[in-house]
Homo-oligomer: A and B are copies of this chain.
């Protein structure tokens, strides 16, 4: 009496596990259904009541009852829960050896790791200070050559999108020329992974001598560039000797710029939104 009727079976995790432990609680017909489900769950999730009933050699009704007995409102609900089991069980042991799969996995791991590592190297207080200074600057100048010159431009565009006045110079001469024109109202951001790039260090030095606020983004806390920086934001390095690691360094730098830009966007949310809209309208005719 108690053991059948409308007893609801205990609720543990995982339909499949539950089925196996409860195999004895089922009636004959239900057990046949349970066996089908346990044996070939991957197929069952794509089968209808009728199909499963036929496969199990029982009537449709028994399949329905089976699902109800497990506590589901409908057969569909049961299938979805079974699907959760089936899909989340696969811990995906890498299909086959090395080759291209491990290329993607390896580079991905490296690129994600450099972001995580950078998170720990960036000092929140310095980040906040940098954001404050940038938010109230008259103009912002990014300095960098080589790869860092590219990132400097990215930084410039990112701040332009927020409606700030930003410049970027990657030519060594123009860079130092621009630096010589700065004042206390301006901010100079020097980008150099090594922190030792002569041109960039010189530009930041000149900017500092002019009284401008200076921010350095580098991977080495004791590099020459930090001498002239009031605020230092560190990026992680991921030396991969042969494998072209330059993209990884750039990702770290861009990540830091993303932190700054997002912080600025929050601080300036109103004007930033307006700037975004203006830019959106201006760019749309350039698209197909």
Contacts and interface: CB of A to CB of B under 8 A. Distances in A.
For chain A, the bracket of interface size reads 35 or more
A56 interface: no
A122 to B, nearest CB: 7
Interface in A81-132: 83-84, 87-88, 90, 100-101, 103-108, 110-112, 115-116, 119, 122, 124, 127-128
A153 interface: yes
A247 B242 contact: no
Nearest to A172: B286
Interface of A: 45-46, 76-77, 80, 83-84, 87-88, 90, 100-101, 103-108, 110-112, 115-116, 119, 122, 124, 127-128, 145-147, 150, 153-154, 157-158, 161-162, 194, 196-199, 201, 224, 242-244, 246-248, 250-251, 254-255, 257-259, 261-266, 269, 272-273, 276, 283, 286-288
Nearest to A113: B112
A250 B115 CA distance: 14
Given A83-B84, A103-B266, A251-B258, 20 more contacts: A46-B76, A84-B87, A87-B87, A87-B88, A88-B90, A105-B119, A106-B262, A107-B255, A115-B115, A147-B154, A150-B150, A154-B246, A154-B250, A158-B247, A196-B287, A197-B286, A201-B288, A244-B262, A250-B254, A251-B254
A105 B166 CA distance: 26
